[in-house]
Structures are given as C-alpha cells and as structure tokens.
Amino acid sequence: MTVSLYRLATAFILLFVVHSSAIEARDLRLATTTSTDNSGLLRAILPQFERQRGIKVHVISVGTGKALKLAENGDVDVVLVHDREAEEAFVAAGHGSERRDVMYNDFVLVGPNSDPAGVRGGDDVLAALRQIAATQARFVSRGDDSGTERMEHSYWRALDITARGRPWHLSAGLGMGEVLTMAGEMQAYTLSDRATFASYQAKTGLEILVQGDPRMFNPYGIMPVSRSKYPDINFSDALALIDWLTSAAGRAAIGAFKPKGEQLFFVAPASKQ
C-alpha cells in the first residue's frame, strides 16, 4: 500500500470511528425500576419519544437503590425511580440537577387465596404485616434495595418489628416479577407495586389482599444526571425525555397505558411539575 493510500485509509477509518461515536453519543441511557419495565409501560411509550427525538433509549432495569448508584457514578444519563426521600437526597448531593414528578400508582399486599394470616379485605398495611408476623406466615421480600423493599422495611420499622433474618421472612434479592413468581410458588405474601402485579397475577395465582392505605402511595420521579459533575453525559436528550414525559404528549401516553383495560399508572398533577 502506498503512503497516500495508507493515509487515505487511515483518514477513512478515523472518520468512521468519529461518525460512529457521534451516533452512539445520541443514544440515551435510562436507569429505572423493574416496575416500569416488568409492567410493559416503557416498551409501550418510549418508541413515541424515540421517533420524535431520533434517538434510542437504552433502559437499564434494576432496583431503585442500584439505579441511583448508576446515576451517581455517571454510568447513565437519566434516572426514573420511586423513592421520594432518596431522590431528593440525590439532587441535594449534586448528583442530579433537578427532580420532577412523572406519575404515581400504589403498592398492594398480595398473597395466596388461602390467606393463612387472615388479612384479606384490609386497608391498613401495618395491621396486616403485624398479623403476618404474629402468625409467622411466609413473606417474600425483594431484598434488592429497591423502592419496594425500602417501603416494606419502613413499615416494619413503624411496627418496631425486626423481620430480616426471621425464618418466615425470605429476602430474595430479585426483581418484582421474580419475587411474585416465587411468592406464588411458595404460597407466600409479598408487597408489590400494582402495575407489576397486574402483569403477573395470572401466572402466580396470588390475590390483592390489602390495598387503599395512604401509606401505600407510590410516586415516581425523574432526574437528569448532573452535567457539572459529568460533562460527557447526554444531558440534552435527558432533558428532552423529562420534558416529553411531563408534557401533554407524554402524560397522554402514560394515561393511555391500560393493559386489559386497567389503569396502572396515573400522571402526576400538573401543579407538581
């Protein structure tokens, strides 16, 4: 190969690498909870944003704690989770530049039809968990530092009950869908977000036994990773996704997500945006 041809080939390769990197840089990395993935919500609504923006959103579905850690380390561009206290601390610590409400649903306490702890029909989650502990009925916990597990353990703390390590309390270290499957196989109780349970109910045979307690309210917030901390993140597309999710179009897409006709997520009131 002559020097001129070698230089031309090298220039072509460099141009290709730069062009490929530019395309890759347009992709957006979203860390989120298993509930938004297991429920099918993101698969239903994100294509609309991707077409409009001309990018691909790569979804990393983990527990809230892990999602926030990915964002804190700059491994993703934007994070959508459900632990309001942790989200506000994330922004206060400078890891994210802002937080916006997106949507909400609620938690439900589910269990087998046999209901060995006798909690069916209740609307007081603390009373139900106290009864489960008193009867030592089997309970499967997420055990993955998710928003759901954090909420569950806030209930045990309120009751002054140490559930971890008890023979009847199993810490699975798994996502919500897998925990529901395990609880169904074990005929055990578990705490679930309503959306994931709706997707897994037919597979598990579990039933909603306790619901409607205001303490089971489950809001979701979204935050872009701080550009001042990580200058190379895809901040512009992160803001575009946040703007879209909280816009009329995004809110309509969330509201239209009704598997089997059931509303699983409700948009946050506009006044909270």
Reference 77, options 184, 262, 200, 222; nearest CA is: 222
Reference 223, options 57, 58, 92; nearest CA is: 92
| Sign of the C-alpha dihedral computed for residues 2, 4, 10 and 15 taken in this order | negative
**Strand (E) positions, 15-125?**
28-32, 57-61, 78-81, 100-111
Could you read off the pLDDT tens digit of each residue along the chain, which spans 273 residues?
454 443 444 344 334 333 334 344 469 999 999 888 888 999 999 999 999 999 999 999 999 999 999 999 999 999 999 999 999 999 999 999 999 999 999 999 999 999 999 999 999 999 999 999 999 999 999 999 999 999 999 999 999 999 999 999 999 999 999 999 999 999 999 999 999 999 999 999 999 999 999 999 999 999 999 999 999 999 999 999 999 999 999 999 999 999 888 899 999 876 444
pTM for the structure as a whole: 0.82
Distance between CA atoms of 205 and 8, rounded to whole angstroms?
Answer: 65
DSSP letters, 117-150, are: T--TTB--HHHHHHHHHHHT--EEE--S--HHHH
DSSP character at residue 215: G
Domain architecture of the chain: domains with CATH: 3-104+219-272 (3.40.190.10), 106-216 (3.40.190.10)
Q: What are phi and psi of 198, to 5 degrees?
A: -60, -35
